Structure 1
């Protein structure tokens, strides 16, 4: 779809939107003035879209240096009376947590939404932490949509709730909800406004006015005591709202074998699976869907459970709702068995699907109901047509010409660096350098970081031995430097360096650590879709901005060994790495070459295999470039994939690779 439709569509118009697109429409309808983020999947599309539409939506938008900065930009905007929006992936909230926790105390004047996209099953993350724990820890309300329509609607609802109580509101999505598509009916677009004082300026977004009040905004201990008291009172009032909120709804079924006996409490994306299984299997269990799940709507939960023989808690990842429900039942002394994660009914980890939810229901249902009459009622109308394994089912459906062979021979495809990626060249040179110095592989430690370059974990490079979080490679280098006498090489991307690499580099210089830090500067935030970072001369809205040279920062920190190299020049890069590995201190190498995915780069002639190729396979084995393959007893370069980096020419010991001559 054309993104301008998110700005121009009128009330009642219907759009077919991704969950992340719906979040943008929700921000526009709510009258957001300021938005800030650091890109992270599964929320990346929100920033990509806002960078295009922000000006037409009368909104300021930026890709901040990291999530903590984005949180602070949003918090100060809301403290100035205008509505603000910050969004990030779940682990990004860890980075922002210090400031995030205090926003609950200090309060706001304008509304503020913190959208956090969780990643059950770790599709693109290093853990699957559950953001709902943060809502309880911080005493910040949380909304959990299960569809694009709900994302849009809850953005608007959440801003109103936030502004009413002067507190941020979390909107928790997930990979599945962020990336599902659905029909979204648009609402009225509210013009941005300020709750304090509107300031006329020459900017395209509305500015507010910060009214000084240190007792409200400066949490020194004496003030923070009062702030906490106010926060507790706010949460108590919001709990009353949660008990009556239209966001929390009971879905009833007209009939079913368990109707009136058992119920389900669910939230977020897990609700969709519960609803579908109950519908398809004619179970008839009512579902209490908690979209405003914290503060816990205790009265609502009690009323739902009080006449039930048992209740299922369907939620992904941590048993957060289950703990809340158990606490409510205990407080009311209500004897209602709870079937969830603690008793093993549902898996404790990972994303759910229809089969998982159905099998989990069956664990309890088969124990509760063994009589033949129930089993006949419980069977789906055409269940006999779909018994057996996948092959047998598909054979009955006449889908099976050659299916056995197809399913048995589907190849796996491991993730790999793109053809022509400069990270590959840097890794190749690093390995060659330590080998030429006579270092043993087991005496090398490679500290990696979050980005495309984490793929260095795979053969033939194997340059990722340890990883914790964004920016950790530099701090890890500090630690390994003092804890071992092994040779340490750390790798970090340019965007990640700006995000969280500066402080640990200061630490390394100050404490006289010894390791090699490579800053892989490919002029973009590549892994999340090509967003700008402070190292390039453009901002999040596409306007010209001052670029911050990485080398200037490194020199200012006090690094004495600093080299800048095009990593595609293998000999020069190897020589620099050898020098860096023998340097007694912190050695920084900036490996600078643009990402091959940046648009507008001139297409050069591809590489070709010459007739004198002896099939030694050195290029295939040591580069693992997806453009080079060995097929039918021949080494082949795919001209469509080749990016003309010429690294393979430098690697071939027989000079059997060259540049394709013009036709």
Structure 2
């Protein structure tokens, strides 16, 4: 039976994640190619395409990184294919090089870039506002606020992109990606075949002589798109009050709830922008002329606020425009926060914002899973190096090795940086440097760092944590995986051979759950100099259970002979451990039988699961 998202019929209403709604919208537009590098909060979009790909009429790939994903998407679009490329907000930094050039060349088949921003840093290292990329590259920007809009804007954005032969930025945030709401389906056409490539070097080869007129055409497209924004159904003005409120993106949803909560609808005139860039200047100007002041509600940067300030100044409007002096430039908004702004404008009493987590509840920090092979690798490295080394970390679930008692992350910059930044650290101090990188991140952007390290003869030990999957973002495949949920990877790239090909001569491979051999390998590599690599290979237990269908045959427990000091809690801290009186114990439901603790504490025995 075909997946409901593949239904060709319109009219039905389904309860969907915002990310699932984006998938349906792309299908309704006639999507032909989908590329991505997974990253929360965008991951459910490509993952859904991946699951339905055997029955869909589109081509899909998990690319090695975001730059590659956008380059593949750009090539497909320049060859006439309607294309969607997805990534999280920091991934756009990686893809920025092709993005700005594709804005010059244009994308005849249509190309939408999904940038999933993360206000509040729920799963990211920063809160950057990627609406700036729309301004920087000269791209139209759509900002949905509901699941229905996510579907409709994905569809209409792709069609608009194809019409104007320009890349389009669909900017979502975590709350839009992960909300769930009713979505009415439209009809889904047969996408047919891409139109094919039409040779035109002056359009697609941006040497300086061609790039200059390309820029002129880009500026002309921006003005044509501005006219589209003026007439877009996603841009509306409603209400009759004398105080104006301008809002874009998910802030429109907070505003709608705040208006309902306060009952102040008659006090405000509201301009909502879903097609937020290029700014519909005539609409915005008419709006500002009709009110006494404007309050701008937008998460993160004051982008819309500054646009309106410039427009007002150029047209000689004398009115107050406020935004970031009333609402914070960081983090997510809440309904109470926005409602307080509304109340304050009309002289009503404001209310204290409730904390998301009541103070009396204990915090639950993220942790490496029970049985995670990364814990075993870190434990062995700490035994060998202790605090005498500098530990360079990278992006992945293994970043949680930063937490005590492992404490194996001294600095972190971005994906792939553990090798390069580790080389810099080795140049600047006399301590040994141990860099950690995951298998997916190694293929994402570790290869270039390793090549540079070998070329420059840096003194660094690279530990590649190979758990056979892209664990942090949802167990997506990468070039080095053996198995996926759709079967065997017939084109697997071998990490050890890749390291050899880059010139590394000292390579060791271990199963980190074998602590004796892992420590021996680390001790051997510690005594060497130059670039050397330890590959710690053992599947993520969740991936192993899901894909390999493996279930650990044993479960460990702490015997009654426990000394009562419970050292394992202080040194290993597996989340399956708990304290029972003065002794350590193991929850058999959480334990996956990795047997690491048997190698750590002599007081632990084992018994068969269920006995």
| TM tier, smaller | over 0.9
Residue 281 in structure 1 maps to residue 262 in structure 2: yes
Q: Which residue of 1 aligns with 2:558?
A: 609
Q: 2:337 aligns with which of 353, 356, 381?
A: 356
Classify 1:572/1:354 alpha carbon distance in 2 versus 1 (closer, same or farther; 3 Å).
Answer: same
Structure-2 change in CA distance of 1:99 and 1:3 (3 Å): farther
> What is the match of residue 397 of structure 1?
none
Contact in 2 for aligned 1:326/1:338 (Cα 8 Å): yes
What is the aligned residue count?
A: 604
Query: Mean alpha-carbon deviation: is it higher for 527-536 or for 356-365?
Result: 356-365
* 2:579 is the counterpart of 1:634: no
**Match of 2:397?**
452
- The reply to whether residue 88 of structure 1 matches residue 87 of structure 2 is yes
Which of 503, 506, 514 is the equivalent residue of 1:558?
503
The answer on 1:474 being equivalent to 2:474 is no
CA distance in 1, matches of 2:34, 2:609: 50
Question: Where does residue 385 of structure 2 map in the other structure?
Answer: 434
Question: Aligned residue for 1:339?
Answer: 322
Aligned with 1:646 (options 580, 595, 602)? 595
The match for 1:584 among 521, 524, 529 is 529
Q: Distance in 2 between matches of 1:582 and 1:62?
A: 42
Q: Does the alignment pair 1:35 with 2:29?
A: no
**In the alignment, structure 1 residue 656 sits paired with structure 2 residue 607:** no
Contact 1:22 1:149 in 2 (8 A): yes
Q: CA deviation at 1:365?
A: 3.7
Is this contact kept in 1: 2:481–2:489, CA < 8 A?
no
Q: Does 2:552 match 1:596?
A: no
Tell me what 2:208 maps to: 221
Gap runs ≥5 in structure 2: none
1:267 matched residue in structure 2: 248
Aligned to 2:513: 568
The match for 2:14 is 15
Compare CA radii of gyration and give the structure with the larger one. 1
Write the deviation string for residues 179-200 of structure 1: whole angstroms up to 9, x where unpaired.
111111101112214xxxxxxx
Instruction: Call closer, same or farther: CA 1:305–1:543 in 2, change over 3 Å.
Output: farther
Tell me the residue number matched to 2:97.
98
| Corresponding residue to 2:362 among 388, 411, 415 | 411
**TM-score, with length taken from structure 1:** 0.88
**Partner-residue secondary structure (3-state), 1:313:** strand
Q: CA deviation at 1:470?
A: 0.8
Q: Distance in 2 between matches of 1:184 and 1:626?
A: 39
Q: Secondary structure at the match of 1:211?
A: coil
Q: TM-score, normalised by structure 2?
A: 0.95
Determine if contact 1:533/1:539 at 8 Å carries over to the other structure: no
Matches within 5 A, 1:267-346: 267-283=248-264, 284=266, 285-341=268-324, 344-346=325-327
Moved more, 543-552 or 445-454: 543-552
Q: CA RMSD in A?
A: 2.0
Name the SS of the counterpart of 2:542 in structure 1: coil
Q: 2:439 aligns with which of 479, 484, 494?
A: 494
Aligned with 1:501: secondary structure? helix
Is the contact between residue 62 and residue 541 of structure 1 (CA under 8 Å) also seen in structure 2?
no
2:469 maps to 1:524: yes
Q: 1:21 to 1:318 in 2, by over 3 A?
A: same
Contact 1:608 1:637 (C-alpha < 8 Å) held by counterparts: yes
Residues 134, 428 of structure 1: alpha-carbon distance in 2 compared, 3 angstrom cutoff: same
Q: 1:389 to 1:516 in 2, by over 3 A?
A: closer
C-alpha contact (below 8 Å) 2:242/2:269 kept by paired residues = no
Question: Would you say the 8 A contact 1:242–1:297 is kept in 2?
Answer: yes
